[in-house]
Amino acid sequence: MSIDSVTAALAPVEIDIRGLSKWFGAHQVLKEMSTEVRLGEAVVVIGPSGSGKTTFLRCINLLEQFEQGEIRIGGEAMGYLVDPQTGRRTRRTERDIARMRAQVGMVFQSFNLFPHMTALKNVALGPVRVNGMRRDEAEALAASLLARVGLADKVDAVPGQLSGGQQQRVAIARALAMRPKAILLDEVTSALDPELVGEVLDVMRQLVQDGMTMVIVTHEMAFARAFAHKVLFMADGELIEHGPPAQLFGDPKTARLQAFLKRFKEGYQL
Amino acid sequence: MPFDIALITRIVPALAEGLTLTLTLSALAIVLAAAWAIPVVLGLMSRFRPLSILTRGYIEAVRNTPVLVQMYFIFFGSAMAGFRLSGFTAGLIALVLQNGAYIAEIYRAGIQSVSRRQMEAGLAIGLTPGAAFRIVVLPQALRKVIPPLGNQGIVIIKDTALVATLSVAELTFQARMLADRTAAVYEIFFALALFYIAITSIFSALMRLVEWRMRVVQ
Amino acid sequence: MFDILIASFPLLMRGVWITLLLTGSGAIVATIFGVVIACAQLFGGIVLRIAAEAYLYIVRGVPLLVLLFAMYYALPYAGVDLDPMSGGALVIGLYFAAFMAEVFRGAILAVPNGQWEAGRTIGLRTPRIVTDIILPQALRVAGPPYINTVIMLVKGTSLVSIIGLADVTFVGRQIVERTLAPFEVFGGVAVIYFVICFALSRCGAYLERRTSYVH
């Protein structure tokens, strides 16, 4: 790891989450989650299926609404403003929400690349349409980002011509093109054939080492153990344990985490 | 725009004289077309190439020509050929030929949408191909064709209006007769539209009942 | 047998011209209104949505012939001086707009939800997402069913012959009443429609082949 843990503790808080709660009807899927993501930190969220990890991630850029709690990105309140005196919640304007979404990149499990555009145009679309960049500048930026993720020779390919791993790397470049404050990655390797997972994890490792602020939901425990600065363990919508990976993986405190890790360690033992 | 509601209560019974013919023609056309579509789809999916090509030709011919022209062809053609058919019969035959082709396609899509794996599962437990088709595929296909059949039924009901041009005294014909004689044209066609909306709505409701009974909506 | 057809050829062609004119103008009206209704259904508030649903319900339940008659008989009383041609095109267009709306709405809904989310994620607002991301994909999906609706429209134009517009069906009926050769003449008329519709369906098949490449 290249970030000094002392420096990490002094870095400003980029994403601040307080008391986040969400209900689907009568069922509470997120229970008062609170955590911080500092500048340059890579936070990995692990947990069993149905624990709410993806829902939690999607609240950060408001692809999911939440009923209680606050999310601040770079100090600014995301999605809802709470009047300090009356406690009344109002949803922010679509304009503000869109502006803040542009500051937080997201990479999806199912890539969601735009099938009718080349890789280059996929990546350049955001800078042109949202950041008002000139088309030639944006395309130059897109080309350099695609080179950074190892796809310099695929700039003119359409998604249909790319493998899953390549598509996901284009998706990462697309998120980077917006120069976001942080990137959210939602199980980005889960839909890939095993032999393609490595190329995507390589790009992610590079991002961590370049100091990108990231929140990663994943099942790739080895990656989390090696490269995360902080790990969050969720189950049933709650934050059960959190801390540096050495502590969570090496010395799990709660029974639930111990049981979860045991299942991973056991895996396929013939 | 003058609009007399009281007038409508007098128009409705006058129009209703055509109701029986509309309903009879609709019912007959629906039933006969659904029945005629069975040999058609068998011909379509037959392995005997000349038959399937012939059937495909019939379907394409009927789908790419207006049903009105088909009606004229049969009506005037039969008169010329010596066995003059009534407007009702000519219209019925045209409706059955036209919609039978569409319904055959609906059957085909329904059968093919039941996964090949279902057929294989049937064969794997030892059923003959015929039995596998009857016991495993057909019931599932039946459920799938009910909704599109309902839509086709509505198409048929609306197309019965065309036989008015062959002097069949159904709803639209009655309306036209009335409109030629009186000046209450808004009320007449408003009432006529209501009649058709009522018929198609009741038919749709009936189809939804059938779907529910057959548990199509899961 | 064919001499009657050959003799009537110029008359028939004039009828074909009217048919094509009606098809073209009807299709334009239907497309425009279809887009409007689909937008009302997808993006409109509750009032617009109810209005759109009501419109669709009525058009689905009433035969086109009844609407044509209504226009033919009722418009003169309303003092509207519309020539039969424009009136016919308008009624046909408004009728098939309902089918077009279904095609467009279905095409937009066919674009996967993930595309909307990806657009939001890079900070695009709804209008941009629709124009840059959703529409190009939706138009590809809409091609073949759009063509199918136009084919239905072509066949629907034959109904104007009943209210006296000189389309190819009307001309055919005139010729038959004169020459008493229903098989040849209506057969010829059928062939003319067949050629038009079949050509359109080939376009649709071509479009269908082209769209499968991207997805």
Complex confidence, ipTM: 0.89
Interface contact C118-A105, CB threshold 8 A: no
Name which residue leads in pLDDT, B74 or A94: B74
Model confidence pLDDT, tens digit, residues B90-105: 999 999 999 999 999 9
**What SS3 class is residue A23?**
strand
Nearest to B156 by CA among B24, B19, B20: B24
pLDDT at B1: 45
pLDDT at C207: 83
Read off the pLDDT band of B72 (50, 70, 90).
Answer: very high
CB-defined contacts A:C, below 8 A: 69
Number of residues in chain C: 215
pLDDT at C23: 96
**Residues of chain B with a CB closer than 8 angstroms to some CB in chain C:** 1, 60-61, 63-70, 72-73, 76-77, 79-80, 154, 158-162, 164-165, 172, 175-176, 179, 183, 185-186, 188-189, 192-193, 196-197, 200-201
pLDDT at B17: 86
pLDDT at B40: 95
Model confidence pLDDT, tens digit, residues C49-71: 999 999 999 999 999 999 999 88
* Average confidence (pLDDT) per 10 residues, chain A, 270 residues: 56 91 93 93 92 93 91 91 85 88 91 90 90 92 94 93 94 93 94 92 93 94 92 93 91 89 67
Assess if CATH 1.10.3720.10 describes domain B19-170. yes
Read off the pLDDT band of B119 (50, 70, 90).
Answer: confident
Selected for mutation to probe chain C from B72, B78, B165, B200 (highest C CB count within 10 Å) is B72
Model confidence pLDDT, tens digit, residues B128-187: 778 878 887 888 888 889 999 999 999 999 999 999 999 898 999 999 888 888 877 888
Chains with 3+ CB–CB pairs under 8 A to A are C
b/e per residue C50-82 (b: at least 16 CB within 10 A): eebeebbeebbbbbbbbbbbbbbbbbeeeeeee
pLDDT at C213: 52
pLDDT at A203: 94
**What SS3 class is residue B114?**
coil
pLDDT at B218: 45
pLDDT at C101: 95
Q: Residues 172 to 201 of C: which have CB under 8 A from any B CB?
A: 172-173, 176, 180-183, 186-187, 189-190, 193-194, 197-198, 201
pLDDT at A8: 56
Question: Do chain A and chain B touch with ≥3 beta carbon pairs under 8 Å?
Answer: no
In chain A, the residue whose alpha carbon lies closest to the alpha carbon of C212 is A160
CA distance B76 to B65: 17
Model confidence pLDDT, tens digit, residues B13-65: 888 888 999 999 999 999 999 999 999 999 998 889 999 999 999 999 999 99
Q: At what angle do helices B171-181 and C64-77 cross, to 10 degrees?
A: 10
Model confidence pLDDT, tens digit, residues C105-118: 999 999 999 999 99
Model confidence pLDDT, tens digit, residues C35-52: 999 999 988 889 999 999
Q: Which CATH superfamily is domain A5-266 in?
A: P-loop containing nucleotide triphosphate hydrolases (3.40.50.300)
Q: What is the 3-state secondary structure (H, E, C) of C5-44?
A: HHHHHHHHHHHHHHHHHHHHHHHHHHHHHHHHHHHHHHHC
The answer to whether the beta carbons of residues A20 and A198 sit under 8 Å apart is: no
Q: How far is C37 from chain A (nearest CA, A)?
A: 25
Number of domains in chain C: 1
Q: How far is C110 from chain A (nearest CA, A)?
A: 14
Half-sphere exposure of C92 (CA within 13 A, CB side): 29
Q: What residue spans define the domains of chain A?
A: 5-266
Interface contact B201-C151, CB threshold 8 A: no
Phi, psi of A70 (to 5 degrees): -135, 145
